[in-house]
Structure formats: C-alpha cells, structure tokens
Amino acid sequence: MENLVFTFGIVAPVFLIVAVGYLLKVIGLMNDNFINISSKIVFSIALPALIFLELYNLDFSKVFEIGQIGYIYLGTLFAFFVTWFVSPLFIHDGKDRGVFIQGSFRSNYAIVGLAILSGLVGKLGFGKASLFLVFMIPLYNTLAVIALTVPLRKEKRLNLNSTLQEIIKNPLILAVLISLPFAFFKIPIHPVFLETGRYIADIALPLALINIGATLNFKDIKKASLLAFYSTLLKIIIFPALVTYGAVLLGYKGDDLAIIFVLFACPTAVVSYIMAEAMGSNGKLAGNIVLATTLGSVVTITLGLFILKTAGLI
C-alpha cells in the first residue's frame, strides 16, 4: 500500500494539472488563441530555459552514458519497425498507416515525462533525463516524417533537408547545445540572470500540462476506432513492458530504469496530431490516439511504477 500511495502521489498531480486545463477550456477561461500562444511560449522559451538550467550545473561525465542512450534508441527503433511491418497487414490506407505508426512510438517525454520524473528521480537523474532530449527529439522527428511520408509516397516526397533544418532549429535542441559549453567549461552566469531564468523555467511544465488538457476533446473518444485502440495498446502497455523488461535484464535499476520506463510509457505526443494534419494524414485518428493514450497512461504509468517500486527496482 505504501508503494501505491508513493506512486500515485507522483503521477496524480501531473494528470490533475491536465484535468485543470480541460476544465478551464470547458468553462471558457481558455480559448484556442490562448492555447496556441502559450504553447509557443512554453516550447520556445520556458521549456528551453528549464532544460538549460537543469544541465548548467551538471557534471556531464556522470550523466552521459552512451550505453543507455543506445538502448533507448534501439527500443524506439524496435517500436517503430514493429508497427511499420505489422501495420500493412490490416491498414491499407496510407493516411491511416502513417498516423498509426507515429502514434505507437512517439512519446510526450518532453512534457509529461519530465513532469513525472521531476518528482521521481533525484537532481542528477533529472539532469540526465533532460539531456536525453537532445538525442530523442531528432530521432522522433525523423521517424515521424518517414512514417507520415513513405506510406503516401505517391502523393508526397520525403524532404530530408527540410527535416534536418527543423531538427537543428528546435528550441529544445538549441537549449541543450547552448548549455554544453557553459557546463563543460564552468562558465559563470550572474545570479540575477539565473534567477530570472528560474522564474521563466518554473512555468514550463505546469503551463504545458494545462495546455495538453485544454486540447483534449472527450467527444472524440466515443468515435475512437479500433486503430486508435490498437495503437494505444502498443504505446502505453506492450512497448513499455517489453523495453523495461529488457532494461531489467541488462541490469538497469534506480533512476536509470525509471527514466527508461517513463520515456516509453508516456502518452503519444500532442505534436503528432499537428504533424498529421500538416502532412495530409488522418488528423482525426491522430487526435484519438493522443486522447486515448493520455487517459490510459494515468493507469498504466501508475501501475508500472508501482510494480517497479514493489520489486525494489526503482
């Protein structure tokens, strides 16, 4: 019971903030314009500030582990290729297949993942979790573009140059890259600027979670298809279980295992819906997957952390 209370105490606040965002939208205190603007502030300013400050004081020799990064990459590629080769067996429309593939592997790690890990792991572990963003964002973006383009190859062409530019210009990537020389060479920053940055960083995760809640549309859950259900099953149950089990066999435990589990157990990223709409795929299916995985992950993440905690692995 103690482990369950501990786990619930970490996961519940994150999703309660999401619920607050939904309620604010329902009662009219948030509209689409506010959501769009605040999301840009979070993505372009607040979240980069949070990542920069978390990495600024880190000893990278203690958090940079190429083996763990490699394992996370392999786990992500495993999820991608399983859905890539299995989906044509029952999905014949390229617009649906690309969305299904993306929804099954792309985690909302930058927001939901970091929010959960901030209360679960220590400062060193959270710094490592933040550093992983510089490796995961390019991989997620590249695989998402491939997933949404290749099934529609008769209609669209894969633009690698455009994809590379988007990755390089990503504010989260830039935040990590800018923080590296400051952390490595111990370049001092005046306390006034650090405190200002901290004020900005403090709004990142709460506002991002509120925005996620405000974008949820529960009317769509009644219309969710079997494809959304299957993608949700893969995203928040099957792949997290397999990758976490493999990590345990390899000897990962504590904060390292917690990071791996949370990264793969997070719901599908909201940006997957935006990309699907922009690239001419089935945006409705993408939205259903985001909604279903967000709701389902409340239970699956809580249960997964409870099992790992009870087993003494985290």
313/162: higher pLDDT? 313
Averaged pLDDT, 293-309? 95
Give the tens place of pLDDT for each residue, 178-204: 888 888 788 899 999 999 999 999 999
DSSP per residue, the chain: -HHHHHHHHHHHHHHHHHHHHHHHHHTTS--HHHHHHHHHHIIIIIHHHHHHHHHHT--HHHH--HHHHHHHHHHHHHHHHHHHHHGGGT---HHHHHHHHHHHH-B-IIIIIHHHHHHHS-HHHHHHHHHTHHHHHHHHHHHHHHHHHGGGTTT----HHHHHHHHHH-HHHHHHHHHHHHHHTT----HHHHHHHHHHHHTHHHHHHHHHHHH--TTGGGG--HHHHHHHHIIIIIHHHHHHHHHHHTT--HHHHHHHHHHHHSPBPTHHHHHHHHTTS-HHHHHHHHHHHHHHHHHHHHHHHHHHHHTT--
For residue 303, is pLDDT > 50? Answer: yes
Which residues pair with residue 107 across a beta bridge?
Answer: 268
Which residues pair with residue 110 across a beta bridge?
Answer: none
Averaged pLDDT, 252-269? 96
Q: Would you state the pLDDT for residue 158?
A: 55
302/273: higher pLDDT? 302
Whether 113 and 271 have beta carbons less than 8 Å apart is answered as: no
Name the pLDDT band for 278 (thresholds 50, 70, 90). Answer: confident
pTM equals: 0.87
In this structure, CATH architecture of domain 2-310: Up-down Bundle (1.20)
Q: Would you state the pLDDT for residue 155?
A: 47
For residue 242, is pLDDT > 70? Answer: yes
What is the average pLDDT value for the chain, to the nearest integer? 88
268/187: higher pLDDT? 268
Q: Would you state the pLDDT for residue 86?
A: 95
Lowest mean pLDDT among 125-139, 143-157, 234-248: 143-157
Lowest mean pLDDT among 47-51, 139-143, 152-156: 152-156
